[in-house]
Structure formats: structure tokens, C-alpha cells
Amino acid sequence: MTPPLASVPFEKLLDVASLRYRKSGITAWQFGRGKLRHDPLYRAVWERPELHRTGTLIDIGCGQGLILALFLAQQTLAPSSIEIPKLVGVETRPGIAQIARLAVSPPVEIISADIRHTPLPRSQTVLIFDVLHMMPAVDQESVLDAALTSLEVGGTLMLREADAAAGWRFRCVALANRLKALTRGYSSRDFHFRSKDEWLTVLERKGIQASAEPMSAGTPFGNVLFVGYKRPLAPGCSDRDEP
């Protein structure tokens, strides 16, 4: 684990991080700034010590790469404060991957590909935020399998998903996703949501011992952040058998 974070105020950090998106235009810049400011996920994850382990961190379905940009902002504002991990983002939409690349590469490696068909480096930390519900159950399993194959034993998985048992808050998530799909031209996409307990069961089955906390403060959404560790293998199993 690296030393504790230097005390750069998060508001300052997000301003500097989002400025990196100006190269891609006002929309990318303001979208990044708005997400970092108003979605509680980014501050909460940034403040977790697990995010700041050394080694390799992979952000799966990284979109514009907002978490990755926070690391670079930290380096700009307090260059000697932290040793940052090797950062990798994987994003399947080429246009969005290019926005991420323009903002954070180098030093961050942005891979424009589908995670399921891309060899990944061994990693100590894997992030999957708001990605899995966008696909059918069978694809969720294969994305998780690909991600967890790259994760070292003892490594950290951070996953944010909607909680399908969260009542009206869940219905807000489902509606927002449906509207986004309609306006962005992928309305036929097959979303699949699970409850918090169902996600914990899936993670347990895949060798991840996780806990869950609400991750939607200040929003109407029913989202949950899962943080888990990859358990050591059972005796007689090979690492490549996992999960």
C-alpha cells in the first residue's frame, strides 16, 4: 500500500482532472466535470486506500477515463505525494476511447477493445463502474471472468452496479438507462439488473469476498459499490482455472 494521500482538496482535483478533456471539446470537459462533482462514486473511490495500491490498475469500461484522470491531476498538483499505479483503461467504443486517450495518454494506456476478447496484464486492482448492467447475464459473466483472470490473488475488485431490490430508486436507474439508450441509438440493448444480494452471490462464486455500500448519495438512484478481494486458490487449483 502506498503512503496516505496528500491533502489535495477533491474539488481542486476534479477541476484539474476535467480540464484534461478540453482537447475533446466543451461537452467532454463539462460532462467529466459534472460526473466527478455530482456522482458520489468518484470521491468515495478516490478516498479508499485500496485504489492507491502500487502495481497495475485496470479500469474496465472506462468511458472517458475519469478515475484515471484523477491520478494525473494528483500528480500535477502534488507531484511527490503518491506513487501512482500503472494505469490501464479498456473501452469498447472507439470514439469514447479516443476521448480518454487524448486526456490521459501517455502515461495511461487506453485499450480500445471489448474486454472479453483482449488479453489483459496481471493487475492488483480492477474497477468496473456502471458497465455490467448494460449487457445480458451471460455477457456479465464473461466480462467478470475476463476481469478476474487478470486480477492477482489478494487484489481488489471495485464494482458499482444498480441494486434491483432498491424499489423506486432502482426504477430511477432503470428509467435513466432506458432513456440514455433511446437517445443514443441502442434502444434494443438487453439490460440485465441484479439485486445487491445477487451480486454478492455471483462475486462469492467467482472467488471474490466482497462487501457492499450504498453509492448514490445526493442522487435519486439505487446504486451500490462492491469492494472485494480475490481469495487464494483452493489447494490443487491452478491460477488459470480461476474464477
Residue ranges that bind ligand SAM, judged by CB under 6 A: 61-63, 66, 90-93, 96, 114-116, 129-131, 134, 143
In whole angstroms, the minimum distance from the beta carbon of 204 to ligand SAM comes to: 23
> Taking Cα atoms as reference points, which of 66, 67, 71, 118 lies closest to residue 92?
118
The CA–CA distances, whole Å, from 223 to 138, 163, 170, 187, 195 equal 21, 6, 8, 22, 10
* d(C-alpha 9, C-alpha 12), whole Å: 5
Provide the strand spans (E) within 35-133. 56-60, 86-91, 109-112, 123-129
Considering beta carbons, is residue 143 or 200 the nearer one to ligand SAM? 143
Cβ proximity to ligand SAM, 51 vs 96, nearer residue: 96
Q: Which is nearer to ligand SAM, 19 or 233 (CB)?
A: 19
Nearer to ligand SAM, 134 or 224 (CB): 134
Q: Least distance (Å) from ligand SAM to the CB of residue 146?
A: 8
Residue number, 116 or 205, with CB nearest to ligand SAM: 116
CB of 194 to ligand SAM, least distance (A): 16
Smallest gap from residue 177 Cβ to ligand SAM (A): 8
Mind giving me the DSSP string for 148-213? Answer: HHHEEEEEEEEEEEE-TTSTHHHHHHHHHHHHHHHHHT-TT-------HHHHHHHHHHTTEEEEEE
Residue 182 or residue 237: which is nearer to ligand SAM going by CB?
182
Pairing of the two strands 223-230 and 123-129: unpaired
Identify how many contiguous H helices and E strands the chain contains and give both numbers: 8, 7
Q: How far is the CB of 236 from ligand SAM (least distance, A)?
A: 32
State the minimum distance, in angstroms, from the CB of residue 127 to ligand SAM: 7
Q: Rounded to an integer, what distance in angstroms lies between the CA atom of residue 130 and that of residue 147? A: 15
